[in-house]
Amino acid sequence: MDKIVIWGGERLQGEVQISGAKNAALPILVSSLLTEGWNTFRNVPDLRDIKTIKKLLNHMGARCKTQAPGTIQINSENVRCCEAPYELVKTMRASILVLGPLVARLGQARVSLPGGCAIGARPVNLHINALERMGAEITLTEGYLEAKSKRLKGAKIYFDIATVTGTENIMMAACLADGETILENAAKEPEIVNLAQVLNGMGAKVSGAGTDVIRIEGVDKMHAVEAEIIPDRIEAGTFIIAAGITAGDVIVRGCVPGHLDALIKKLTDTGMEITPVEGGLRAIGRSDIRSVDIMTLPYPGFPTDLQAQIMAYLTIANGSSLISETVFENRFMHVSELQRMGADIKVQGGNAVVKGVSGLRGAPVMATDLRASASLILAGLAARGKTDLSRVYHIDRGYEQIEKKLSGLGARISRVRE
Ligand code: EPU
């Protein structure tokens, strides 16, 4: 198995290009299930999760071709199999995204119920309740959700929690339903806006994406589209924090500054200078970092997907920071690994108090999930000495060539076979 080795202490400098967003690409590739003909998707990142979703689509009978790096074509005309098997769902929970489109297009779906994961229980009850309100009959048999409906009916749905993939799942299902669906307390993430644009390009009638009320007028048929995936705001945020934690000076190209407002505000409060430049942002860190309190929230609040990374940064701030995780109940698995590097962090329930220390020390550490891995790499960049990160398959799920991009900025980082 590969591991990542980092020799810390280099100040990052230069330019880095941000890839397409994993969490936009996943639902968008799945949306091809609603169409006939060859869809072309551009700016698709080369990640393990993308390979998994392609495998799943292939399993169901779709044809996927990689045209050029970052360009994927998908034709779902021959999709007859409506099953998402346990073997694929257990490696990637986002496979649940096929549930809505399959029922809408084929009238049935059989999708393995995702279990818990390293960041929490993560139920999918809101996806199920919404489909039931649209007339689907759903049963749980041998660990599989089985859904049936001749034709889904438009409905008014209120989400108790603003769920990202739940909103996406139901938005896709509603595109081919009979009549109008209204989603209230919908998630507002930029990835949802990107999906809505793509669905509308396919002939759907979706309005309000990006606000908490989304309306979808069902249509009878949808057609193939050519579409572009938005840049990955979490990858961009991770590189901005990398500039901060190394007191570096980095131009993050290809990101959308407006998608990063909450992060920019907080990092500016710590003393970083973050300014728009042609095609991206320039991030300048400083050696005296001010502490700051963080609370994760649904977009436009501070993203839970950057919580672990900003925690790594705040471990070397002056003073104490309070980090409150409100989106997932168990997203502090990185804490014990950061402690092995000398961080002073106390966790109580959903809160972590991070008391800044004068420096971190390299250590062998283990990745527990995707964003925890990113946090440990950031800590390794700032630490004295060598950090060995094992279980790097987590990072490959969501960061394209992270070690190459960081080396390009002057980091001493490499991937080695154990
Ligand atoms: N929730 C329920 N019931 C549901 C659905 C969600 O109780 O039916 C709860 C969850 O347990 C959680 C909260 O609602 O406490 C929000 O979860 P959400 O459904 O929004 O999360 P998700 O759709 O499963 C997506 C991203 C995650 C990201 C979260 C929050 C994708 C493929 N995944 O997950 O990304 O953390 O939204 O922004 O879009 C990552 O990329 O590392 C990652 C975990």
**Residue in 376, 377, 374 with CA at minimum distance from that of residue 399:** 374
**Residue in 395, 396, 414, 394 with CA at minimum distance from that of residue 404:** 414
Residue 281 has pLDDT above 90, yes or no: yes
Phi, psi of 181 (to 5 degrees): -115, 135
Mutation choice for ligand 1 from 132, 163, 304, 375, CB with most ligand atoms inside 8 A? 163
- Label residue 27 by pLDDT band (50, 70, 90): very high
Distance 124 CA to ligand 1 centre (A): 9
- Label residue 1 by pLDDT band (50, 70, 90): confident
**Residue in 101, 64, 71 with CA at minimum distance from that of residue 84:** 101
Helices (H), 270-418: 307-314, 334-340, 370-382, 393-398, 402-408
Which residues have a Cβ under 8 Å from the Cβ of 96 and sit 6 or more positions away? Answer: 84, 89, 111, 114, 124, 127, 165, 169
The residue behind tokens 């394209």 is: 400
Which residues have a Cβ under 8 Å from the Cβ of 87 and sit 6 or more positions away? Answer: none
Active site residue 64: no
Helix (H, G, I), strand (E, B) or coil at 316: coil
The residue behind tokens 């963080």 is: 294
Identify the pLDDT of residue 67: 85
Identify the pLDDT of residue 159: 98
Identify the pLDDT of residue 119: 77
Helix (H, G, I), strand (E, B) or coil at 379: helix
| Tens-place pLDDT, residues 53-108 | 999 999 999 999 998 999 999 999 999 899 999 999 999 999 999 999 999 999 99
| End-to-end CA separation in angstroms for the chain | 6
Q: How far is Cα 241 from Cα 399, in angstroms, rounded to an integer?
A: 15
Distance 121 CA to ligand 1 centre (A): 10
Ligand 1 atom closest to 165 (CA): 23
Identify the pLDDT of residue 364: 97
Q: Which helix (H) or strand (E) holds 324?
A: strand 320-324
| Tens-place pLDDT, residues 251-280 | 999 999 999 999 999 999 999 999 999 999
- Label residue 115 by pLDDT band (50, 70, 90): confident
- Label residue 25 by pLDDT band (50, 70, 90): very high
Q: How far is Cα 324 from Cα 322, in angstroms, rounded to an integer?
A: 6
- Label residue 122 by pLDDT band (50, 70, 90): confident
Q: How far is Cα 174 from Cα 142, in angstroms, rounded to an integer?
A: 27
Proportion of the chain above pLDDT 70, given as a percent: 100
Proportion of the chain above pLDDT 90, given as a percent: 94
Distance 385 CA to ligand 1 centre (A): 36
The residue behind tokens 């599989």 is: 144
- Label residue 121 by pLDDT band (50, 70, 90): confident
Task: Establish how many alpha carbons lie within 13 A of residue 228's alpha carbon, considering only the half-sphere containing its beta carbon.
Answer: 3
Q: Which residues of 231-262 are buried (b: 16+ CB within 10 A; e: fewer)?
A: bbbbbbbbbbbbbbbbbbbbbbbbbbbebbeb
Residue 117 has pLDDT above 80, yes or no: no
| Tens-place pLDDT, residues 194-246 | 999 999 999 999 999 999 999 999 999 999 999 999 999 999 999 999 999 99
Taking CA atoms only, the protein residue closest to ligand 1 atom 36 is 305
> In the predicted model, what is the mean pLDDT of the chain?
96
Beta-strand runs (E) in 113-247: 137-141, 144-148, 156-158, 180-184, 205-207, 213-217, 226-228
Cβ < 6 A, ligand 1 pocket: 23, 26, 94, 120, 122-127, 161, 163-166, 187, 304-305, 327-328, 370-371, 398
